[in-house]
Amino acid sequence: MSLFKKPKRNIRRRDFDSNEENEEEGDFKIDGQDSKKNVNVKTNDPKVKKEKKKQAVLSFHEELDEGDDGEIFQVKKSSQSKKIRKLMDKERKKKKDVKSDVNESSNTKENLSEITTIDEITIKIKNNLPINRVLNGREAEMAEIDGVSSEEEDDSGHKFSHPDLVKQMLKKGQIPDAAMIHAARKRRQQAREMGGDYIPIEDSSTKYETSKPSSNSKSRLIREDDNDGSDDEERIKMVVNTAAIDKERRREAFHTALENESEESDHGEEEEWEKQQIRKGVTGAQIAAVQQENMYYAYAMPPEAVGIAMPIEPPLPECVTLPVQVFPPLPMMGTGKVDHVSVAKRIQERLADIKEVSRRHALDRDERAAQLELLRKEIDQLKVEAPGLAERFRFYQDLRGYVTDLVECLDEKVVILVALEQRILNLYQKRATELISRRRQDMKDQAEEMALPSKNVPPKRDAIQVRRAAEREGRRIRRMKAREGKTTTKHVEGMSSDEEVTEMEASNFRTTKEQVEQDARHLFEDALDEFSTVKGILERFDSWKKTDKDAYAEAYVHICLPKVLGPLIRLQLLTWSPFVQGGIDLEKINWNHHLLMYSLRENETEGSLKTDPDVELVPRIVEKVMLPKLDQLVCAQWDPLSSSQTLALVSIVTKFLQDYPTLGPNSKVLTLLLNNIVNKMTDAVENDLYIPIYPPKMADGRMIAFFNRQFASAVKLLGNIVRWQGLLKDEVLYKIALDALLNRYLLLALRTCDTLDAALKCHMIGSVLPRVWLHAGSVPEQLVALFNQAKLLAQQLDSSKPVVRDILDKLSVFLKAIP
């Protein structure tokens, strides 16, 4: 790590011949010849008493203050600068006579004198110390040059390596370059590292203090070794002070003695360091081995054997302390008697040990031989299985590519499929909404027409109401003509559904539907059959099941198949609706047949079917695909007042629950469908029922006809709701059919009719109720009010009349159910 920050070499060198030197000489006008004169120049402005800014010695001081290029160059103090300072101190001693003259001349003046230059630099000198001579500029440099020769004779001072070079640079007014500064720093660093007792250079606060040190402080960057006592940015001030110079001389002598002592001690430290390194390089074990070897040869080979004069006792080697004994001592020979028995015994023991080792080796050999044999068999088996495994690998690679392509194809087509489904749902919902709104508007118009007039003033009707009334009567007449000759039973007004639409509306409906069907046919036209048909996809997965059934089961293909086949089945069920006559029969669709026959084998048994993971494929398809489709159609198209739609919906839900037992209370999709059905029925009871109540004496034929139609519509809605008995909970049906409809609307209307008409209407209500509710012991409490009303009507009727007897026979159903 370098000890200084390398500058960008944009340093301006000081030139003593420049205008700056001339200006400086012109400002101060001080040289060596006029040093005995006392200069006292007063400034024109008496208010300026303090020194505003000290002129820097370095020429780039202003650039450092401004910080144009963002770098700071600071000249480090070296031992060379200390040498120069010592030279200047000795020069001051030689000029004591000059100092005494200056003191005598200064005593006759004021205690505080001011020397002010043109650029407002003021130097204040107080008389608390003797007035010393201050040398600035060229005089200071000349004083340094003159004192070099005298300082060289002082052996206690520090020795400079290149004094001539420093003097030449100072004479030229140049700044030491980076190399010289770096060399000085390296010498100081080496002195600190090599000498443990080295005393660092003192802080600047103990040397050359002025009367106001705070005024000389500058915001300069202080380096890690910048501990010298002078400020580079200020001029060098040399004050002749005998006491301070003596004190400084003693301190320098002390420092020099310490440095010399540290240099002498360095040699001993280096020798000790070399010994330590040698000890580290050569281990104690090696030294001990060499010593023992020398001792062995010294004792084993006498001097006479080699003919060399050697001392009788070999010299002992240098003692080395070791943590452990490298060579253990040889065991001492026993003093007991050795005979052939003991030798034979030892031989036998040795033989037994060798046999045991041999036995273990033989066992290891046999084990390795068996392992080799097994490995040979395994190699042969793998060679036989390699073609099959390679074929299986290729099959799975093809299957992986097929599944990836299939998923990408379905992801692309599902977006278009969802848009097509939304279009067809909007078409069905629009038509159902129009029919329901028209029925409710007709009911409202008729209620207004049949309202009791006030003061014999008929209600006013606008043209729109007149047009709606005409259209309503026209549709009623056309339905009446369509029923003629088809049924033998008498039709009751209000039991038929008004679902007739105009030819234009029917044409627009067919056109939109055909357009959706055409777009659906072009959806998979760019895909192969194995990607666009249920049969093609099932064949690929069936081949996987035949090849590796275990892997097929571990991959949970039976769970993924409904999701894979779902888009294709939804596309074929795009226009299907159970509420449209002449719709698609689900049992006759091709994909249903393919699903039923999937993975069926000729030797299939009941036991194998139980373990087949695809045995529930069709129920999962119904739950995951068909029930959500049916739920959407219920919300968009089903009308609870339509007996045909309700019958079709009840039939298909019943079929699903009977054919697929997996659909139960735990099925979330089935639960959602039944909740939507209940909500639709509740909405119909609240918004589609209206039974007017007219006084018998004021009601005319038109009012009675409207009353009978609305009563029949309520009974039809009651019959449609109770058709869900067995599919929905009885508590839910009691709440909707009996509490909200029967007891609130129908019973109230029965009490306003005459006895014979009320008996007929009571029979009409009983004909739509489930038979399970009319059995003795299982009658719900909500039907008690109806039973009481029927019993009261039977008591009021005259049984002598034949018509009355027929009505009483019809009421016998209620009379038998009464507990």
Rounded to an integer, what distance in angstroms lies between the CA atom of residue 429 and that of residue 379? Answer: 70
Rounded to an integer, what distance in angstroms lies between the CA atom of residue 460 and that of residue 480? Answer: 29
> Domain check: are 65 and 136 in the same one?
yes
Residue 2 lies in a domain: no
> Domain check: are 108 and 228 in the same one?
yes
pLDDT score at 628: 94
In 8-23, which positions are buried (b, 16+ CB within 10 angstroms) versus exposed (e)?
eeeeeebebeeeeeee
The pLDDT confidence band at residue 379, using thresholds 50, 70 and 90, is very high
Rounded to an integer, what distance in angstroms lies between the CA atom of residue 779 and that of residue 774? Answer: 6
Cα 50 to the chain's mean position, in Å? 66
Task: Tell me if the pTM is above 0.85.
Answer: no
> Domain check: are 297 and 414 in the same one?
no
Give the length of the chain. Answer: 819
pLDDT tens digits along 418-459: 999 999 999 999 999 999 999 999 889 888 887 765 555 566
Residue 490 lies in a domain: no
> Domain check: are 376 and 515 in the same one?
yes
pLDDT score at 819: 57
Rounded to an integer, what distance in angstroms lies between the CA atom of residue 552 and that of residue 315? Answer: 90
Non-local CB neighbours of 95 within 8 Å, separated by 6+ positions:
133, 240
Residue 338 lies in a domain: no
Helix (H, G, I), strand (E, B) or coil at 792: helix
Identify which of 123, 233, 169, 237 has the alpha carbon closest to the alpha carbon of residue 16: 169
Residue 29 lies in a domain: yes
Rounded to an integer, what distance in angstroms lies between the CA atom of residue 99 and that of residue 112? Answer: 18
| The two three-digit tokens of residue 312, written as one number | 């009788």
The pLDDT confidence band at residue 55, using thresholds 50, 70 and 90, is very low
Residue 696 lies in a domain: yes
pLDDT score at 816: 72
Beta carbons of 57 and 233 less than 8 angstroms apart: yes
What is the β-pairing status of strands 122-125 and 113-116?
antiparallel
For residue 580, what are the domain limits?
368-454+501-667
Identify which of 238, 237, 240, 208 has the alpha carbon closest to the alpha carbon of residue 97: 240
Answer yes or no: is pLDDT of 695 > 60.
Answer: yes
Helix (H, G, I), strand (E, B) or coil at 366: helix
> Domain check: are 314 and 420 in the same one?
no
Going from the C-alpha of 583 to that of each of 71, 572, 576, 695, the distances in angstroms are 91, 12, 6, 47
pLDDT tens digits along 705-734: 889 999 999 999 999 999 999 999 999 999
| The two three-digit tokens of residue 12, written as one number | 């301006």
The pLDDT confidence band at residue 128, using thresholds 50, 70 and 90, is very low
> Domain check: are 730 and 812 in the same one?
yes
Answer yes or no: is pLDDT of 222 > 50.
Answer: no
Residue 476 lies in a domain: no
pLDDT tens digits along 238-286: 555 777 788 888 888 877 877 766 666 666 677 787 777 777 766 555 6
Residue 546 lies in a domain: yes
Identify the sign of the CA torsion 805, 810, 814, 819: positive
> Domain check: are 219 and 182 in the same one?
yes
Q: Write the burial class of residue 257 (CB in 10 Å: 0-12 exposed, 13-18 middle, 19+ buried).
A: exposed
> Domain check: are 638 and 731 in the same one?
no
User: Which carries the bigger pLDDT value, residue 381 or residue 38?
Assistant: 381
pLDDT score at 345: 92
Q: What are phi and psi of 741, to 5 degrees?
A: -110, -55
> Domain check: are 213 and 255 in the same one?
yes
Most confidently predicted of 110-124, 130-144, 416-430? 416-430
pLDDT score at 567: 94
Beta carbons of 793 and 760 less than 8 angstroms apart: no
In 226-249, which positions are buried (b, 16+ CB within 10 angstroms) versus exposed (e)?
bebbebbbebbebbbbeebbeebb
Answer yes or no: is pLDDT of 667 > 70.
Answer: yes
pLDDT score at 98: 53
Kindly give the residue spans of alpha helices, DSSP state H, lying in 450-486: 463-483
pLDDT tens digits along 212-221: 333 333 333 3
pLDDT tens digits along 308-361: 334 444 444 444 444 444 445 555 555 557 788 899 999 999 999 999 999 999
Most confidently predicted of 113-117, 177-181, 358-362? 358-362
Count of domains in the chain? Answer: 4
Q: What are phi and psi of 114, to 5 degrees?
A: -125, 135
pLDDT averaged over the chain? 73
Answer yes or no: is pLDDT of 535 > 80.
Answer: yes
> Domain check: are 69 and 201 in the same one?
yes
pLDDT score at 425: 94
Residue 729 lies in a domain: yes
> Domain check: are 602 and 730 in the same one?
no
Q: What is the DSSP string of 423-450?
A: HHHHHHHHHHHHHHHHHHHHHHHHHHHT
pLDDT tens digits along 632-665: 999 999 999 999 999 999 999 999 999 888 888 8
Residue identified by tokens 């627009």 is 508
End-of-domain residue from the set 268, 300, 315: 268
Answer yes or no: is pLDDT of 193 > 80.
Answer: no
State in Å, rounded, how far the first CA of the chain is from the last one.
112
pLDDT tens digits along 474-503: 888 888 888 776 665 677 777 777 788 888
Q: What are phi and psi of 307, to 5 degrees?
A: 75, 30
Identify which of 402, 370, 356 has the alpha carbon closest to the alpha carbon of residue 557: 402
Rounded to an integer, what distance in angstroms lies between the CA atom of residue 645 and that of residue 55? Answer: 109
User: Which carries the bigger pLDDT value, residue 13 or residue 704?
Assistant: 704
> Domain check: are 589 and 515 in the same one?
yes
pLDDT score at 664: 84
Rounded to an integer, what distance in angstroms lies between the CA atom of residue 616 and that of residue 559? Answer: 10
